[in-house]
């Protein structure tokens, strides 16, 4: 069995720039963590299989090199699909090297946006972290399951993901998502949904978006859940209600700096829960899901917290 760190690389991230500079990154990684095994992904969803095999072969330190979508796929490999409640092995640590366009998760972890600097931070403090488990309706209609480390959401964010992931990200994360938000706002109509938080009563809301947050940022830098803590055992659930296009545009700056939850807008509500079930309030309606920047399917869906499931390497400015 190998005890070497395993580095999972998405060479296609950042429009292929990760692959182009892999030699430079590999040299920096060897200097920082010593000898390691490496797996290069060749297509979607391969990262989970590579990481799962590495953990079964004995690796206890996994490094994900890519964007937020890559980090999400890597987290899938920490779990056995046949035993979805617990990780393959206790105490496995995940470190991330952000080379993609969004970089939302690294913001919460307090890591540098520069890959070489983030590599130097891989020796930083380890913190126990929760993982979200999402049971959702796939586009084909069957029930599927996946994990998320950052934020799961639904509503306009699902449409934004669809638009952004079908477009070039050459302009960078923030601009790509802003353009996606602009295009989505012209197409999206606020949708009625039914929510149940833990064992509480059903809540019916017409929403622009609902974020089920394990961490703080999504959408290329939006601080949607400014008080979320990835190790506290609960989600921060931010319900952005029936805002019109003008209200969304006017409030966008507040979402980026995290002041939208100050209580001044009654259409924005914040809850905490370990389990969130959501479904369309109208039959036949398609409410799209966002999961760490990916668009896997639609409601009905259930979000559940798995407390302390993994360990994360954090930087000097980690903020929960």
68 part of the active site:
yes
pLDDT at 19 over 90: yes
Q: Pick the catalytic residue from 49, 68, 236, 290.
A: 68
Lowest mean pLDDT among 102-106, 113-117, 305-309: 102-106
pTM: predicted TM-score of the whole model, two decimal places = 0.92
Structure confidence by residue, pLDDT tens digits, 147-203:
999 999 999 887 777 767 656 555 555 566 666 666 666 678 999 999 999 999 999
Cα 153 to Cα 209: distance, rounded to the nearest angstrom: 7
CATH of the structural domain 132-306, one choice from 3.40.50.300, 3.20.20.190, 2.60.40.10, 2.60.200.40:
2.60.200.40
Cβ density class 220-244: b for 16+ within 10 Å, e for less: bbbbbbbbbbbbeebbbbbbbbebe
Position 102 scores a pLDDT of 74
CATH number (3.90.1260.10, 3.40.1410.10, 3.30.1490.20, 3.40.50.10330) of 6-131 reads: 3.40.50.10330
Confidence of residue 1 (pLDDT cuts 50, 70, 90): very low
The pLDDT value recorded for residue 172 is: 55
Domain boundaries, the chain: 6-131, 132-306
State the Cα–Cα distance between residues 36 and 3, nearest whole angstrom: 9
Stretch 231-240: mean pLDDT, rounded?
98
Q: What is the mean pLDDT of residues 58-87?
A: 94
Q: Write out pLDDT tens, residues 237-263.
A: 999 999 988 898 899 899 999 999 999
Strands ordered across the beta sheet of 235-240: 268-273, 235-240, 209-213, 151-155, 289-291
Mean per-residue pLDDT of the chain: 91
What percent of the chain is predicted at pLDDT more than 90? 76
């Amino acid at each position: 069995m190998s005890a070497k760190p395993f580095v999972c690389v998405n060479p296609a991230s950042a429009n292929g720039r990760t692959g182009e500079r892999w030699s430079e990154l590999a040299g920096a990684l060897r200097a920082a963590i010593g000898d390691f095994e490496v797996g290069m992904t060749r297509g979607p969803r391969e990262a989970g299989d590579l990481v799962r095999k590495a953990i079964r072969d004995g690796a206890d330190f996994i490094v994900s090199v890519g964007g937020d979508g890559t980090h999400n796929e890597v987290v899938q490999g920490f779990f056995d699909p046949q035993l979805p409640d617990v990780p393959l092995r206790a105490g496995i640590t995940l470190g991330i090297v952000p080379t993609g366009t969004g970089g939302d998760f690294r913001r919460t972890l307090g890591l540098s946006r520069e890959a070489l600097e983030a590599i130097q931070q891989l020796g930083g403090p380890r913190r126990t972290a929760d993982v979200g488990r999402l049971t959702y309706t796939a586009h084909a209609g069957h029930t599927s399951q996946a994990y998320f480390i950052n934020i799961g959401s639904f509503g306009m964010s699902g449409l934004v993901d669809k638009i952004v992931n079908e477009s070039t990200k050459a302009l960078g994360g923030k601009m790509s998502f802003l353009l996606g938000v602009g295009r989505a706002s012209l197409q999206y109509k606020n949708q009625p949904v039914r929510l149940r938080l833990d064992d509480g009563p059903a809540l019916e809301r017409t929403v622009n978006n609902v974020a089920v947050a394990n961490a703080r940022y999504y959408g290329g830098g939006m601080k949607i859940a400014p008080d979320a803590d990835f190790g506290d055992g609960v989600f921060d659930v931010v319900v952005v209600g029936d805002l019109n296009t003008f209200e969304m545009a006017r409030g966008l700056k507040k979402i980026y700096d995290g002041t939208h939850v100050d209580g001044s807008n009654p259409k924005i509500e914040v809850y905490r829960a370990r389990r969130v079930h959501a479904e369309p309030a109208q039959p036949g309606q398609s409410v799209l899901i966002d999961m760490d920047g990916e668009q896997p399917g639609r409601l009905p869906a259930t979000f559940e917290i798995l407390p302390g499931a993994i360990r994360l390497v954090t930087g000097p400015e980690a903020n929960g």
